[in-house]
Amino acid sequence: MTVTAEREQELLKSIPTGLLINGEWRDASSGKTLDVEDPATGKVLLSIQDANTDDAMAALDAAAAAQKDWALTAPRERAEILRRAFDLVIERADDFALLMTLEMGKPLAEARGEVTYGAEFLRWFSEETVRHYGRYLTTPEGKNKILVQHKPVGPALLITPWNFPLAMATRKVAPAVAAGCTMVLKPAKLTPLTSLLFAQVMQEAGLPAGVLNVVAGSSASAISGPLMKDRRLRKVSFTGSTPVGRRLMADAAENVLRTSMELGGNAPFLVFEDAELDAAVEGALAAKMRNMGEACTAANRFLVHESVAEEFTAKFAEAMKAQKPARGTEPDATVGPLIDGGARDDVHALVTEAVQAGAEVAVGGDKMEGEGYFYQPTVLKVPNDCPILGQEIFGPVAPVTTFSTEEEAIELANASEYGLASYLYTRDVNRMFRVSEQIEFGMVGFNAGVISNAAAPFGGVKQSGLGREGGAEGIEEYTTVQYIGIADP
C-alpha cells in the first residue's frame, strides 16, 4: 500500500528537531536551522536546529559531567535500558522505517530490514553488558596475583554517515552504553532525523540526562574539531569515508584518543567455476543492490571464472533489469534514488570513464529522467585493469571481469587498498578456507551476499579502518583495561 502524504506529515511532525544536550531538547545557539531533504523528490522534509561549536562544547560538558555517575551504574541497569530501547524501536518499527525511507531514500522493505538489524545491536549489547568479564590469576612465578578489570574509556564522540541512519547509530551507541561511556553523537547532516527519533527513544527507555547528547549540524568540523582537541574527550568512533577518517586519526593523535575507524570498502565478489550460479546471482543482487549500492560492504568488483562468466553476467543483467527504481514509499519499489545529485554525478562519471576504458554496458549505464536522483541498475563487462575496479562506486553499478585460476582470483581480490567485506561463491569448503586465508579482508561472505549481524565483528583491514563493531569485540572498543598487581598476604 502506498504511504499517504498525511501519514508522512504526521510522522514528520512528531520528530524532535532540536539538539539533545543534558537531557533537554534545545535550540541551536546561533538560531540557525538546517533543511533535511527527500532525495526522491528534492523537497524539504523538515528543518532542524543547526549546531555550532558552542553547542558541541555544551554537549561535551554534559557528557563529561555525566561520565562519573554513569560509569558507576549497575551493569544490569544499563542492560535493561538497552533492552527497553530495543523493545521501543521494534514497537515503532514502521515509524523508523518510513523516516529512513523519507530522508535517505531506501525502499520501505529495506528500511524495515535496517530497523531489525539496527535494533539487534541494542538487544545484543544489552546481553553483553552483564557478561563482560575481567580475569584473576596467579603470576607465572607462583607468587602474587594479577587482577584485570575493564573500565569505560570515557566520553566518546560518535560520528555516523548517512547511508544507514539507524544501524550506524545503534552500532555505536549500544556498546558505549553497555561499557558505561557517555557520548556526543554527530549524525550526518543529510540524514539526522532518524538519530533524533532514536535519541528520544533512548530517553524514553530511561537513559539518564547527559549520557547521550546529539548535535546535528551543517558543519561537521565545527562540531568535531574543538571536541577532538578537548582533553575530556577520550574516544572517537567514526564511520565514513577513508579521507575523513585519516584526518580524524591525525586529530586523534594530538589528543592521544582511542579511535575506531569504519571506513570505505571495495568488496570483491568471487564466483568460482563450481559455484551454484543461481545462488551466486541472487547473492550478487543482494550484495550489490542493498541500499542502492550505497554501502561500505557493497560488492564492487565481480570477479567471475571465465568458464561461467557469460552465463553469470547474462543472468545478473536480467535480474538488474527487472529492478524497479522508484520512491521508496511506492509498494513495488526495489531500488531508491541516490542520496543527492553530486553522488549521482560521481557514479555516472565512473561509468563514463569505464566505457571510455573499454567497458561494455550489459544493462543500464545512465541517469534516469524525472525528479529525484535515480540511476539505472547497471552491469558492465570490464577488462581487469579498468579504473572503475579501483574505486568505491557507491551506486547501483556492477563491473564484471574474469579470472582463470584461483591464484589470479586472489591476486585480483587483493589488488585494492581497501579490505572490508568480500564474498566467495563456491561449493568447495576447502577452497573457502584456502581463499579466506589469503585474502586481505576483515569479513568474508561464503555463499552469502549479506553478512552483517549484530553478533559478528564488523570491520576492515588496510585502508578500510581499525577496530570492530558488534560481536564480543564491539564492547572492547569502549573500554580500557586496568591491571592490579596483588601481593600475596
Closest listed residue to residue 80, CA positions, set 201, 209, 205, 199: 205
Q: Which of 22, 116, 241, 414 binds ligand NAD (CB under 6 A)?
A: 241
Query: Is residue 420 involved in binding ligand NAD (CB under 6 A)?
Result: yes
The residues annotated as belonging to the active site are 262
- 156-159 and 235-239 strand pairing: parallel
Query: Is residue 262 involved in binding ligand NAD (CB under 6 A)?
Result: yes
Q: Which residue is nearest to ligand NAD (CB)?
A: 240
CB 462 within 8 A of CB 298: no
Query: Is residue 100 involved in binding ligand NAD (CB under 6 A)?
Result: no
CB 287 within 8 A of CB 442: no
The Cα–Cα gap between 417 and 463 comes to 6
Q: Which of 22, 218, 221, 438 binds ligand NAD (CB under 6 A)?
A: 221
Query: Is residue 263 involved in binding ligand NAD (CB under 6 A)?
Result: yes
Query: Is residue 162 involved in binding ligand NAD (CB under 6 A)?
Result: yes
The Cα–Cα gap between 430 and 406 comes to 12
Counting every residue written for the chain, the total comes to: 489
- Cβ count near 9 (within 10 Å): 11
Which residues inside 460-489 make contact with ligand NAD, applying CB under 6 A?
460, 465
Query: Is residue 161 involved in binding ligand NAD (CB under 6 A)?
Result: yes
CB 488 within 8 A of CB 162: no
Which residues inside 278-307 make contact with ligand NAD, applying CB under 6 A?
296
DSSP for 157-184 reads: EEE--SSSTTHHHHHHHHHHHHHT--EE
Q: How far is the CB of 306 from ligand NAD (least distance, A)?
A: 30
Query: Is residue 169 involved in binding ligand NAD (CB under 6 A)?
Result: no
Closest listed residue to residue 22, CA positions, set 221, 273, 242, 208: 208
Query: Is residue 191 involved in binding ligand NAD (CB under 6 A)?
Result: no
Q: How far is the CB of 457 from ligand NAD (least distance, A)?
A: 12
Phi, psi of 328 (to 5 degrees): -60, -20
Query: Is residue 264 involved in binding ligand NAD (CB under 6 A)?
Result: yes
CB 433 within 8 A of CB 420: no
Query: Is residue 38 involved in binding ligand NAD (CB under 6 A)?
Result: no
Considering the complex, state which of residue 17 and residue 239 has its C-beta at the smaller distance from ligand NAD: 239
Considering the complex, state which of residue 262 and residue 477 has its C-beta at the smaller distance from ligand NAD: 262
Virtual torsion, Cα 399, 402, 406, 412, nearest 10 deg: -50
Considering the complex, state which of residue 236 and residue 326 has its C-beta at the smaller distance from ligand NAD: 236
Q: Which of 7, 247, 321, 462 binds ligand NAD (CB under 6 A)?
A: 247
Tell me how far CA of residue 94 lies from CA of 219, 396, 454, in angstroms. Answer: 30, 26, 21
Query: Is residue 448 involved in binding ligand NAD (CB under 6 A)?
Result: no
Binding residue count for ligand NAD, defined by CB under 6 A: 26
Q: Which residues pair with 289 in a beta bridge?
A: none
| Residues contributing to the site for ligand NAD (CB under 6 A) | 159-163, 186, 188-189, 220-221, 224, 239-241, 244, 247-248, 262-265, 296, 392, 420, 460, 465
